[in-house]
């Protein structure tokens, strides 16, 4: 039996036993909704759905609709003719249809719809005669020509709109509805003329040809640039495809007893439980949204057509009760009769999502667990960052767009270096700055912290600027040079973005949630913490099975994270503590030391700083676990680069400039990411591990004594690829730690674990687990090394990979579950086999990405660790994963 590619709206519900998921997968969201409403006996213009599988088939057949499916389409048109008593292609009694796209998930405005299909030069006359309403008939025809030309032939909209405007001017009228039948007839002539000029042929008169053309255009629109961008943003797989709905027209443009509208069962901006909507009399399709005339609020319908209003309210209520969620509906009224054209779970702001979830629980409609599934984790972001004022943003026009690297909104005066940022913000007039850099580096941290937002020309979503900004909860747009024309001149202190020149001190606004860049100031509003949020997150926390920790390496971030619900620190990077002005000198002396003695002397200067840092961190974290990772980056990152700095350092160290220059040169690496870094540093210089252990244990002892609660330090050795390497460093740590603990005469336990971030570590995890108390998957490096491309450079060529659909998303943002995920799964399994008590977590950027968090839950990790502002997102994502697929509890 060949596959069934078409379903009547009447068939949809029974064919899939009313299973909503399958119905959406096969019929698309719109098709599923139309089938359900039909099943429920609601007034729906009849029609049929061509499945998403037919879309896949269309692409498999090299973008052609094969003969079998074509034949089916006409067979179903035949059924529709019987149902409606009209004939497709007839002159006297033409059946007109809409051809509508509809993917599994709604993609508003991304794909295209064609209305009034089936009209031609004769049928329009027939329709005029039959309805005795030539104005209406010609309005349908001119709309059809417009939409067909735009959607199917891709001629654009503007030529047609210009003609309508010109016609209105000639006639001295303001609104489309004031144009007469003759005017519209004339417009049809002009439109057909445009079509002939642009297309080089006559407007197609054969309805069958029109229909196949339209269906193809909808399938094709699945792959249009707009849809591709939207899909990538929303993680909608390309392979899903879109369904096509062919539906008899209901005419909202047939007079003053007709109209079209949209409505929500609750307010999508605030969540308030009150029907909200708008409609336009004597209008069709998108007229309401397009702002052609000002629509009336739905409450007015109560006065204008009370029976229609009552019927609509009754249907809306039934739909909401049936789907147990806020509905977004489209309807049309034809000569006083209501038709439902669409229903779906409505999109809503984060604030509304929380309000609706809480209300539905209170109304007894859904359980707390179902409520937890109703809010998109990513959406929580918008609650936690300052946002641009919606009206101000609407009025502003973006001058360019980079990557939406860290959400929130920033408005400030442009500065071009971290030092300038630090300096300028002390001045009242400069309090708000936006830091603009080619890219940022670790020494820019302080400057980044004082900035409202960060804009970089280079780099991707996991570039330094992006990662650090997310950690700080600072808005960041990265890599704006990837797709825009950007020139930055540090000397002149200017940046030009697509021809817009900014000098130092000029105002710039950037939107880290969209990547948009604006000239001038856009007002921001503070985000508020609301009671619904706390209540909702309580339900999420009750449901989740993984712990959520944070990546933080300073007291401010740590406190922030705890406030956002972090249960500990999964990654405390010690090197970030090395850059502050007062200690970088000692660090540099350590690196440039020529003998072990010199190095120890220098380390002795660094140690008190580290100890003070850890003490401060422990004081905030209390007995929450804190995983401290030992020095990780290549040493040369800390070296002076400016001649005057080199000179000064040489003097301090009793070297000549030349000698020091030689040291600097000798530290140069061709590929530092794969060079002398991570635990390799401790293998060559065990003194570093000794110093760091001293600092950790002393701090832990001190704070334990203060609070009376014994801390268990978690020490993490980075970049291990071989068990003996871990053992070697571990021995240094154990010896140092045990001595200090014995001296203190207390019973302090500590754990030593490792990052799994080199593929070889994952492959030999069974052995490594013998020496490790825990594994933390460092998925940034693990992704980089598994794919073999650098996370700082990948942004440059990944665009081409998205365009060609080789990859659908950035593997540094969404964990590659197939490849990297396989390594994680294997390492978790092998590690636990050797060491059943092995702790397992993830501390890469993926720890805050909902789909990656779900993966971590499913492979049995104990925790995820992410940047502070992503903690709520991870909490919710972990809860949703647990509700969808609860795992057996460990005891």
Q: Which residues are catalytic?
A: 464, 843
- The interface region with ligand ADP, picked from 139-147, 244-252, 574-582, 664-672 by CB under 6 A, is 244-252
Ligand-binding annotation for 629, yes or no, is: yes
CB closer to ligand ADP, 259 vs 872: 259
User: CB under 8 Å, gap of 24 or more: what pairs does 138-142 form?
Assistant: 138/181, 138/184, 138/185, 138/187, 138/188, 139/184, 139/253, 139/284, 140/96, 140/115, 140/116, 140/249, 140/251, 140/253, 140/284, 141/116, 141/184, 141/188, 142/184, 142/187, 142/188, 142/191
Residues numbered 584 to 623 that lie near Mg ion (CB under 5 A) are: none
Closest-by-Cβ residue to Mg ion is: 781
Q: Does 34 bind ligand ADP (CB under 6 A)?
A: no
Read off the tokens for 653: 């160290």
With respect to ligand ADP, which residue has the nearer C-beta, 250 or 823?
A: 250
- With CB cut-offs between 5 and 8 Å by kind, which of ligand ADP, Mg ion, none does residue 567 bind? none
Query: By CB under 5 A, what part of segment 24-63 binds Mg ion?
Result: none
> What binding mask, one character per residue, do residues 40-79 give for ligand ADP by CB under 6 A, x or -?
-----x----------------------------------
How many angstroms separate the CA atoms of 795 and 404, rounded? 13
Q: How far is the CB of 752 from ligand ADP (least distance, A)?
A: 56
Q: Is 342 in the site for ligand ADP (CB under 6 A)?
A: yes
One DSSP character per residue, 713-750 reads: -EEEE-S--SHHHHHHHHHHHHHHHHHHHHHHT-----
Which strand ranges, in their side-by-side order, compose the sheet holding 409-415?
A: 400-401, 516-519, 507-511, 409-415, 433-437, 453-456, 475-478, 403-406
Part in contact with ligand ADP (CB under 6 A); list of ranges 107-115, 128-136, 220-228, 566-574: 107-115
Question: Closest distance between ligand ADP and the C-beta of residue 36, in Å?
Answer: 15
The answer to whether the annotation marks 791 as part of a ligand binding site is no
d(CA 107, CA 135): 33
Alpha carbons 761 and 751: distance in angstroms, whole number: 19
Between residue 338 and residue 397, which ones bind Mg ion under the rule CB under 5 A? 342
CB of 289 to ligand ADP, least distance (A): 8
Question: 336 among the known binding-site residues?
Answer: no
Q: Which is nearer to ligand ADP, 227 or 475 (CB)?
A: 227
Q: Is 307 annotated as contributing to ligand binding?
A: no
SS3 at position 339: strand
| Distance between CA atoms of residues 478 and 461, nearest Å | 7
For residue 784, the minimal CB distance to Mg ion (Å) is 9
Site for ligand ADP contains 250 (CB under 6 A): yes
Number of residues that bind Mg ion (CB under 5 A): 5
Give the pairing type, strands 751-756 and 714-717. parallel
Binding residues for ligand ADP restricted to 179-198, rule: CB under 6 A: none
Instruction: Draw the binding track, 291-330, toward Mg ion (x: CB under 5 A; -: no contact).
Output: ---------------------------------------x
Total of chain residues touching ligand ADP, rule CB under 6 A:
17
Q: Looking at residues 750 to 769 of the shown chain, list those that interact with Mg ion (rule: CB under 5 A).
A: 757
Residues 6+ apart with CB under 8 A from 397: 518
Partner whose binding site includes residue 150, from Mg ion, ligand ADP, none (CB under 5 to 8 Å by kind):
none
CB of 781 to Mg ion, least distance (A): 4
Judged by beta carbon, residue 673 or residue 740, the one nearer Mg ion is: 673
Q: Report the Cα–Cα distance between both ends of the chain, in Å, rounded.
A: 51
343-367: burial string, b at 16+ Cβ within 10 Å, e else: bbbbebbbbbbbbbbbbbbeeeebe
Which of 38, 51, 98, 133 contacts ligand ADP by CB under 6 A? 98
- CA–CA separation, 760 and 812 (whole Å): 19
Among ligand ADP, Mg ion, none, what does residue 98 contact (CB within 5–8 Å per kind)?
A: ligand ADP
776 touching ligand ADP, by CB under 6 A: no
Q: Does 277 participate in binding ligand ADP (rule CB under 6 A)?
A: no
781 is an interface residue for Mg ion by CB under 5 A: yes
**Which partner from the list ligand ADP, Mg ion, none does 757 bind, CB cut-off 5 to 8 Å by kind?**
Mg ion
154 labelled as ligand-binding? Answer: no
**Among residues 138 and 339, whose Cβ is nearest to ligand ADP?**
339
Among 407, 778, 839, 847, binds Mg ion (CB under 5 A): 778
- Cα separation of 406 and 7, whole Å? 44
DSSP annotation of 407: -
Is residue 135 a known part of a binding site?
no
- Tell me: does residue 80 bind ligand ADP (CB under 6 A): no
**Which residues make beta-bridge pairs with 260?**
280, 332
Check residue 778 for interaction with ligand ADP (CB under 6 A): no
Q: Which residue among 25, 38, 84, 113 contacts ligand ADP (CB under 6 A)?
A: 113
**Stretch of residues binding Mg ion (CB under 5 A), selected from 149-157, 318-326, 337-345, 831-839:** 337-345
Q: Which CB sits closer to ligand ADP, 327 or 516?
A: 327
Q: What is the DSSP track for 579-608?
A: -SHHHHHHHHHHHH-SSHHHHHHHHHHHHH
Token pair, residue 275, equals 């029907």
Bridging pattern class, strands 242-248 and 296-297: unpaired
* Residue 779 among known ligand-binding residues: yes
Of the candidates 349, 354, 321, 273, the one whose C-alpha atom is nearest the C-alpha of residue 539 is 354
Scan residues 254-273 and list those touching ligand ADP (CB under 6 A): 260
Cα dihedral sign for 321, 322, 326, 329? negative
Retrieve residue 216's tokens: 């193809």
285 contributes a contact to ligand ADP by CB under 6 A: yes
Q: Using CA atoms, how far apart are residues 518 and 522, in angstroms rounded to an integer?
A: 8
Do residues 254 and 61 touch, judged by C-beta distance below 8 A?
A: no
**β-strands 486-489, 475-478 pairing:** unpaired
Name the residue nearer to Mg ion (CB basis): 139 or 330: 330
Residue ranges in 312-331 that form contacts with ligand ADP under rule CB under 6 A: 330
Q: For residue 738, give every residue at least 6 positions away whose Cβ sits within 8 Å of its Cβ, in sequence order, or none.
A: none
Among Mg ion, ligand ADP, none, residue 250 binds (CB under 5-8 Å by kind) = ligand ADP
Binding residues for Mg(2+), as ranges, are: 757, 781
Binding residues for substrate, as ranges, are: 573, 629, 757, 778-781
Which parts of this chain interact with Mg ion (CB under 5 A)? 330, 342, 757, 778, 781
Which parts of this chain interact with ligand ADP (CB under 6 A)? 45, 98, 100, 109, 113, 115, 247-250, 260, 285-286, 330, 332, 341-342
Binding residues, as ranges, are: 573, 629, 757, 778-781
């Amino acid at each position: 039996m060949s596959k069934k590619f078409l379903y009547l709206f009447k068939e949809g519900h029974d064919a899939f036993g009313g299973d909503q998921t399958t119905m959406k997968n096969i019929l698309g969201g719109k098709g599923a909704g139309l089938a359900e409403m039909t099943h429920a006996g609601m007034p729906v213009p009849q029609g049929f759905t061509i499945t998403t599988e037919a879309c896949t088939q269309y692409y498999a057949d090299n973008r052609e609709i094969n003969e079998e499916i074509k034949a089916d389409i006409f067979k179903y048109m035949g059924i529709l003719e019987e149902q409606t008593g009209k004939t497709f292609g007839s002159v006297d009694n033409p059946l007109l249809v809409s051809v509508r796209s509809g993917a599994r998930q709604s993609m508003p405005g991304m794909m295209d719809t064609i209305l009034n299909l089936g009209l031609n030069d004769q049928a329009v006359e027939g329709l005029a005669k039959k309805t005795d309403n030539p104005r209406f008939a010609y309005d349908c025809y001119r709309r059809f020509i417009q939409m067909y030309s735009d959607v199917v032939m891709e001629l654009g909209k503007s030529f047609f709109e210009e003609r309508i405007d010109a016609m209105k001017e000639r006639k001295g009228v303001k609104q489309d509805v004031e144009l007469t039948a003759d005017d519209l007839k004339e417009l049809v002539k002009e439109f057909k003329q445009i079509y002939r000029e642009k297309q080089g042929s006559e407007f197609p008169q054969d309805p069958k040809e029109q229909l196949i053309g339209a269906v193809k255009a909808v399938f094709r629109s699945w792959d249009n640039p707009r849809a591709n961008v939207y899909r990538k943003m929303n993680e909608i797989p390309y392979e899903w495809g879109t369904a096509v709905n062919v539906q008899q027209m209901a005419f909202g443009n047939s007079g003053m007893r007709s109209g079209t509208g949209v409505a929500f069962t609750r307010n999508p901006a605030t969540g308030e439980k009150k029907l909200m909507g708008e409609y336009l009399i004597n209008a069709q399709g998108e007229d309401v949204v397009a702002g052609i005339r000002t629509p009336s609020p739905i409450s007015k319908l109560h006065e204008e057509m009370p029976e229609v209003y009552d019927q609509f309210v009754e249907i809306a209520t039934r739909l909401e009760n049936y789907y147990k969620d806020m509905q977004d509906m489209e309807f049309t009224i034809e000569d006083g009769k209501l038709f439902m054209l669409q229903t779906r779970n409505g999109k809503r702001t984060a604030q509304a999502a929380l309000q609706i979830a809480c209300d539905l629980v209170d109304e007894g409609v859904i359980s707390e667990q179902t409520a937890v599934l109703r809010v998109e984790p990513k959406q929580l972001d918008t609650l936690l960052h300052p946002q641009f004022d919606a009206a101000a943003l609407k009025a502003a026009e973006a001058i360019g767009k980079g990557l939406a690297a860290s959400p929130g909104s920033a408005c400030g005066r442009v500065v071009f270096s971290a030092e300038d940022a630090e300096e300028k913000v002390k001045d009242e007039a400069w309090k708000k700055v936006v830091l603009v850099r080619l890219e940022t580096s670790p020494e820019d941290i302080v400057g980044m912290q004082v900035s409202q937002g960060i804009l970089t020309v280079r780099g991707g979503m996991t570039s330094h600027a992006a990662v650090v900004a997310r950690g700080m909860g600072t808005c960041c747009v990265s890599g704006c040079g990837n797709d825009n024309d950007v020139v930055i001149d540090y000397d002149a202190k200017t940046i030009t973005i697509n021809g817009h020149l900014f000098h130092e001190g000029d105002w710039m606004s950037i939107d880290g949630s969209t990547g948009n860049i604006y000239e001038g100031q856009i007002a921001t509003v503070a985000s508020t913490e609301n009671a619904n949020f706390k209540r909702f997150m309580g339900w999420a926390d009750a449901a989740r099975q993984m712990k959520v920790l944070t990546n933080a390496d300073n007291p401010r971030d740590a406190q922030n994270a705890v406030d956002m619900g972090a249960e500990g620190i999964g990654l405390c990077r010690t090197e970030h503590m090395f850059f502050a002005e007062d200690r970088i000198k000692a660090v540099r002396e350590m690196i440039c030391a020529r003998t072990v003695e010199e190095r120890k002397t220098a380390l002795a200067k660094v140690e008190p700083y580290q100890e003070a840092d850890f003490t401060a961190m422990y004081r905030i974290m209390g007995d929450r676990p804190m995983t401290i990772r030992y020095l990780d980056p290549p040493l040369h990152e800390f070296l002076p680069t400016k001649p005057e700095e080199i000179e000064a350092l040489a003097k301090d160290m009793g070297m000549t400039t030349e000698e020091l220059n030689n040291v600097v040169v000798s530290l140069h690496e061709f590929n530092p990411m794969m060079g002398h870094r991570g635990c390799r540093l401790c293998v060559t210089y065990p003194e570093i591990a000794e110093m760091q252990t001293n600092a950790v244990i002393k701090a832990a002892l001190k704070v334990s004594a203060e609070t009376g609660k014994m801390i268990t330090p978690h020490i993490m050795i980075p970049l291990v690829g071989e068990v003996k390497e871990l053992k070697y460093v571990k021995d240094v740590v154990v010896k140092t730690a045990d001595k200090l603990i014995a001296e203190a005469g207390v019973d302090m336990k500590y754990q030593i674990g490792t990052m799994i971030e080199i593929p070889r570590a994952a492959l030999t995890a069974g052995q490594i687990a013998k020496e490790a108390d825990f594994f933390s998957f460092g998925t940034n490096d693990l992704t980089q090394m598994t794919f073999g491309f650098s996370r700082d450079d990948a942004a440059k060529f990944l665009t081409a990979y998205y365009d060609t659909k080789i990859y659908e998303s950035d593997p540094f943002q969404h964990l590659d579950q197939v490849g990297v995920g396989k390594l994680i799964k294997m390492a978790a399994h092998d590690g636990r086999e050797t060491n059943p008590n092995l702790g397992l977590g993830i501390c890469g950027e993926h720890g805050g990405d909902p789909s990656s968090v779900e993966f971590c839950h499913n492979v049995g990790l104990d925790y995820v660790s992410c940047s502070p502002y992503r903690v709520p997102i991870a909490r919710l994502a972990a809860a949703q994963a647990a509700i969808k697929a609860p795992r057996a509890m460990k005891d």
